[in-house]
Amino acid sequence: MNEGVEWALHSCLNLTWVDDGQAVTAAKLAAFYELPAAYLNKQLQALARAGILTSTSGPRGGFRLARRPEDITVMDVVAAIEGPEEAFRCEEILRQGPGGHEDVDYRTTCVISQSMRRAELAWRRELSRQTIADLKATVESRFPYTPDSTRSWFANLRT
């Protein structure tokens, strides 16, 4: 699994704590965790293309959440970074076996493929259950100071 998933989720969470309507540049989001700015920017672009963030060009530009945290699931973020492919990709080796047919789609026919897909669906379902708002609420209940300290960190940052 892509490391960018971790970066993206943390960045989304941080964006919930900055002043509303305030855009944050990729450079600042990267500085928060000392991440490579150019590469994090790529991930943020992916989030923007997926409709999770909106981006603004020019001075005072940057990224902000495109929707309310309640309407962004963890699965949305993971899918935006990881792409549409499944973790288990069936290579349809049954086609090479005896009795294999050229024109059969073994990704749907093969019992093993189905079994792996079922597990992956359980994974997706679990990730879809949690929203950014849920994560935010959990963090805030455990670490009440986080919203203030995060907001002020971004406010006081000198690049």
Partner DNA sequence: ATAACCTGGATATTACACATCCAGGATCGC
Partner DNA sequence: GCGATCCTGGATGTGTAATATCCAGGTTAT
Query: Binding to DNA by residue 84, rule CB under 7 A?
Result: no
Structure tokens that stand for 35 in this block: 């991440």
Question: Of 13-21, 37-45, 99-107, 121-129, which segment contacts DNA by CB under 7 A?
Answer: 37-45
Return the residues of window 36-65 that contact a copy of itself according to CB under 8 A.
Answer: none
| Residue 58 near which of a copy of itself, DNA, none (CB within 5-8 Å, type-dependent) | DNA
Structure tokens that stand for 16 in this block: 């919930």
Return the residues of window 93-112 that contact a copy of itself according to CB under 8 A.
Answer: 93-94, 96-99, 111-112
- CA 102 to mean position of chain CA atoms: 37
| Residue 56 near which of DNA, a copy of itself, none (CB within 5-8 Å, type-dependent) | DNA
CA distance 48 to 13: 15
> Is the CB of residue 87 less than 8 Å from the CB of residue 101?
no
> Is the CB of residue 54 less than 8 Å from the CB of residue 64?
yes
> Is the CB of residue 11 less than 8 Å from the CB of residue 29?
yes
CA-wise closest residue to 8 among 51, 55, 46: 46
Return the residues of window 60-89 that contact a copy of itself according to CB under 8 A.
Answer: 74, 87-89
List residues near a copy of itself by CB under 8 A: 1, 3, 5-7, 9-10, 13, 32-35, 74, 87-91, 93-94, 96-99, 111-112, 115-116, 118-120, 122-127, 130, 135, 138-139, 142, 149, 153
